[in-house]
Amino acid sequence: MANLQVKIWRGAEEGEFQEYEVPRLESQTVLDVVTYVQRRLDPSLAYRFACRVGVCGSCAMSVNGVSRWTCRTHVSKVAPDDKLEIAPLRNLPVIKDVVTDMSEFFDKWAKARGRFTGSKTRKDAFAEVKPESKQRKAVDAAIECIGCGVCYSACEVVTWKPDYLGPAALNRAWTLVNDVRDVAQQERLAAVAGDAGCHACHTHMACTERCPKGISPTAGIAGLKRAILSATLKGEM
């Protein structure tokens, strides 16, 4: 097989693409390519990964202009012409090479009240949540998020409105809005409402298009928009 022509971003916010030649292997993933470069060609290359199997959410990068998890992105899928351009995730400050500072991304989960607030103690019985209930199904559809930042990176609204909470944080809020055990619903809806919250979403659906876990944050954000509008019209907000 021919060699891959690989361009990788070097530097921080300011920087440039550097070119490498990497042997093309069968069943090769984009993460394999980056790892090859760091181990064989240039040990100063900084990148993040941990599990290599699509669980941890730490290896996301921009691959040929599209945000993807690199560990489960096959080269054959994204580089039919054997050319790769690998850059850091968008909409996040670059620390070095393809490593971004994800603080703001996760801070926004906290801002969106992305933590569970219960009222029961260990002395209470288990809550019963029917698997076929509407809420439980909504949670099931959205709960598998691994926090990789692909949706946040792909979202144009985040670029245009840097204070926008973004698809991942809103998706998290949506799973809690549908958690019948949670008792902080009012505060959560207030936290995700308005011009920096779910109502900034234009349904570009980049998040739905790019989520490697097959989640549709768009669906959850739409649910939040409706829930907040109806709470507002009822005078609950």
Partner 1 sequence: MTMNTRSQVLLWGAQRISAMLLAVCVVVHLITIIYAVRNGLSAAEILGRTRGNVAWGGFYALFVAAVAIHAPIGVRNICAEFGWRGRGVDILMCVLGLTLAMWGFRAVWAVVS
Partner 2 sequence: MKNDSRSRNHPAYWAFLVHRLSGVALTLFLPLHFWALGNALHGEAKLESFLRWSDQPLVKWAETILVLLLAAHMAGGVRLLMLEFVSLPGNAHEVNAWQKTLLAGAAGVSVVVGLLFLLNLI
Q: Does residue 194 touch partner 1 according to CB under 8 A?
A: yes
37 binds, among partner 2, partner 1, none (CB under 5 to 8 A by kind): none
DSSP 85-98: EEEPPTTS-EEETT
CB closer to partner 1, 115 vs 202: 202
Neighbours of 204 (CB within 10 A): 14
12 binds, among partner 1, partner 2, none (CB under 5 to 8 A by kind): none
Residues 6+ apart with CB under 8 A from 184: 113, 117, 176
Give the interface segment with partner 1, choosing from 24-32, 67-75, 88-96, 155-163 (CB under 8 A): 155-163
CB closer to partner 2, 56 vs 229: 229
Binding mask 213-232 for partner 2 (x = CB under 8 A): -xxx-xx--xx-xx------
What is residue 176's three-state secondary structure? helix
* Ranges within 150-209 binding partner 2 (CB under 8 A): 153-154, 156, 159, 202-206, 208-209
- Taking the C-alpha atoms of residue 82 and residue 75, their distance in angstroms, rounded to an integer, is 8
- Taking the C-alpha atoms of residue 56 and residue 79, their distance in angstroms, rounded to an integer, is 24
Q: Does residue 39 touch partner 2 according to CB under 8 A?
A: no
Among 65, 80, 131, 235, binds partner 2 (CB under 8 A): 65
Q: Does residue 203 touch partner 1 according to CB under 8 A?
A: no
- 33: buried, middle or exposed (CB in 10 Å: 19+, 13-18, 0-12)? buried
Q: Does residue 101 touch partner 2 according to CB under 8 A?
A: no
Token output for 149: 């930042």
Strand partners of residue 99: 96
Q: How far is the CB of 200 from partner 1 (least distance, A)?
A: 8
The residue to which tokens 């298009």 are assigned: 209
Token output for 37: 């470069």
Q: Does residue 67 touch partner 2 according to CB under 8 A?
A: yes
83 binds, among partner 2, partner 1, none (CB under 5 to 8 A by kind): none
What are the Cα distances from residue 200, in Å, to 37, 92, 160, 185, 188?
Answer: 40, 19, 10, 20, 16
- Taking the C-alpha atoms of residue 106 and residue 104, their distance in angstroms, rounded to an integer, is 5
User: What residue ranges bind partner 2 (CB under 8 A)?
Assistant: 13, 62, 64-67, 87-88, 90-91, 94, 137, 140-141, 153-154, 156, 159, 202-206, 208-209, 211, 214-216, 218-219, 222-223, 225-226
User: What residue ranges bind partner 1 (CB under 8 A)?
Assistant: 157, 160-161, 190, 193-195, 197, 199, 202, 225, 228-229, 232-233, 237
